[in-house]
Amino acid sequence: MGLFDFFKKKETAPEAQEALEKGLEKTKEGFLSKITKAVAGKSTVDDDVLDNLEEVLVTSDVGVSTTLKIIDRIQARVAKDKYLSTSELNHLLRDEIQLLLAENNSNDFRNFEYGDHKPYVIMVVGVNGVGKTTTIGKLAHKLKNENLKVVLGAADTFRAAAVEQIKLWGERVGVRVVAQAMGSDPASVAFDTLQSAVANKEDVVIIDTAGRLHNKIGLMNELGKIKSVMQKVIPNAPHEILLVLDGSTGQNAFEQCKQFTEATDVNALAITKLDGTAKGGVVIGISDQFKIPVKYIGVGEKMDDLQLFDKKDFVNSLFN
């Protein structure tokens, strides 16, 4: 059994679906109202409707290249079916977006196996202010609730606030935090955290890192050093490099994703703050363009408002 199999049952719960619907309200309202305007007065999907739909997707932060893929697919369907009414457009658009997301990430997170890594090491990266520390705290909370032993490593040693935030989350959730003095070597903190996790037979290690995009070479060197030091304790660590992005920043999130994926081997994404924005389309564009699984989405402030990303549930919530 994979380490996080317990999430499978959690995310199908009605309360989780309700939280998702509520968290995507602003995006859904903007998205559906724009589509309604795009097809106003039209009975069939013609070139004007497709042009309007293209504008809707781009202004919903789906991104230009992903938008063009979706429009091409709909054009092909219109050509094939010869006649397509505007009332069918919502269903068609939903289906094509779901298909696109399914093609990008062949492994849906619900069925993703983590194997037998113990401790399972997650290194969390992302710029300051995207909700990185909150995501770490909420993830630790979910894991602890399933009786998994979790330890947090405060390796963002450049900001006193970052270390204090991690410590506060540790107290709030009831998990151990390994920290050193402000300005300490981040790799040293990561090394200590992994060593103590092995000694204490803990299940999951979550390492915070500095959220600075000073320059790509500096970022690459810093994250590379943390990884190589961790591998002295656990040879294949980290098992997951989780990039946290703020969904409310729209196109800026694309640029951050580009920078971090060039700097390190990101293999999972968390997109936060979707409840406070109408820019939820960014999830579709980033998933498509970077071919990295979106694993978690933040849809609210509560401790349980970090959810596993389910492609079908997400897209259905936009169109319901």
Across-strand partners of 298?
306
How are beta strands 150-154 and 306-308 bridged, if at all? unpaired
The answer to the question of whether 200 is labelled as a binding residue is no
Is residue 211 part of an annotated ligand binding site? yes
Peptide bond just before 119 cis, omega within 30 deg: yes
Tokens matching residue 212: 């600075």
Question: Is residue 128 annotated as involved in ligand binding?
Answer: yes
Instruction: Assess whether the previous peptide bond of 238 is cis (omega < 30° from 0).
Output: yes
**Which letter does DSSP use for residue 60 in this model?**
T
Give the H or E element holding residue 296: strand 294-298
Residue 308 is encoded by which pair of tokens? 């596993």
Concatenated DSSP letters of 200-266: TT-SEEEEE-----S-HHHHHHHHHHHHHHHTTTSTT--SEEEEEEEGGGTHHHHHHHHHHHHHS--
Q: Is 315 labelled a binding residue?
A: no
Cα–Cα distance between 54 and 70 in angstroms, integer? 9
Task: Find out whether 123 and 260 touch, Cβ atoms under 8 Å.
Answer: no
Residue 131 annotated in ligand binding = yes
- The answer on whether 157 is annotated among ligand-binding residues is no
126 in a known ligand binding site: yes
Confirm if 307 and 21 have CB atoms less than 8 A apart: no
Determine if residue 209 is labeled as part of a ligand binding site. yes
CB atoms within 10 A of CB 129: 10
Is 274 assigned to a binding site?
yes
- Length of the chain, please? 320
Q: Is 300 annotated as a binding residue?
A: no
Is 175 annotated in some ligand binding site?
no
Distance spanning both ends of the chain, measured CA to CA: 34
Is 275 annotated as a binding-site member?
Answer: yes
272 marked ligand binding residue: yes
**For helices 25-38 and 47-59, angle between their N-to-C axes, nearest 10 degrees:** 160
As annotated, the binding site for GTP includes 126-133, 208-212, 272-275
Binding residues, as ranges, are 126-133, 208-212, 272-275
